[in-house]
């Protein structure tokens, strides 16, 4: 029996004043290319998930936030072929800067009720009802 490693990825639902959530389209050439995801990334050694998000939001979309502005909402636990993804989802309503793609990805503000129109990684689909309830 092969044991899959657990991959810890921190993800963020950035929420605007209108109750819409920012989705980013994974660029060509990456795994799951073309699918719409929450900004975030792998938690690197020595980082807390909050530190990962602060770093990734800055690197990926040029937005600044702080730990106190990141509230835990729910998590994904999903087996991909080569790893098991454990992905806490934080909500952030307080951030500075206008999200701008820093890595060529497309960005879109989407109402949770409309997220089904944006194909997401399989791990993300069970998270949508939590955002519908929240927003």
Ligand X SMILES: Nc1nc2c([nH]c(=O)n2[C@H]2C[C@H](O)[C@@H](COP(=O)(O)OP(=O)(O)OP(=O)(O)O)O2)c(=O)[nH]1
DSSP 28-89: TTSTTTT-EE-SEEE--TT--HHHHHHHHHHHHH--B--GGG-EEEEEEEEE-SS-EEEEEE
Among 75, 112, 124, 131, binds ligand X (CB under 6 A): 124
Residue nearest to ligand X (CB): 41
Q: By CB under 6 A, is residue 85 in contact with ligand X?
A: yes
Paired tokens of 87: 């992905």
Inter-residue contact 109 to 20 (CB < 8 Å): yes
How many residues touch ligand X (CB under 6 A)?
A: 14
Inter-residue contact 110 to 118 (CB < 8 Å): yes
Q: Give the x-and-dash track for 44-83 against ligand X (CB under 6 A).
A: ----------------------------------------
Closest separation in Å from C-beta 113 to ligand X: 18
Report 87-106 residues binding ligand X (CB under 6 A).
none
H or E element in which residue 133 lies: helix 128-134
Q: Which is nearer to ligand X, 30 or 114 (CB)?
A: 30
Q: Which residues pair with 13 in a beta bridge?
A: 91
- Judged by DSSP in three states, 127 sits in helix
Closest separation in Å from C-beta 102 to ligand X: 13
Q: Give the x-and-dash track for 5-44 against ligand X (CB under 6 A).
A: ----x-x------------------xxx----xx-xxx--
Q: Which residues bind ligand X (CB under 6 A)?
A: 9, 11, 30-32, 37-38, 40-42, 85, 121, 123-124
């Amino acid at each position: 029996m092969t044991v899959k490693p657990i991959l810890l990825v921190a993800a963020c639902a950035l929420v605007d004043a209108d109750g819409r959530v920012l989705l980013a389209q994974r660029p060509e050439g990456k795994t799951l290319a073309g699918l719409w995801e929450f900004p975030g990334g792998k938690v690197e050694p020595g980082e807390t998930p909050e530190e990962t998000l602060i770093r990734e939001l800055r690197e990926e979309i040029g937005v600044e936030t702080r730990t106190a502005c990141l509230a835990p909402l729910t998590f994904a636990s999903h087996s991909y072929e080569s790893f098991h993804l454990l992905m806490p989802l934080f909500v952030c309503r307080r951030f500075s800067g206008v999200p701008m793609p820093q890595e060529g990805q497309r960005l879109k503000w989407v109402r949770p009720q409309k997220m089904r129109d944006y194909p997401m990684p399989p791990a993300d689909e069970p998270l949508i009802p939590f955002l519908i309830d929240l927003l």
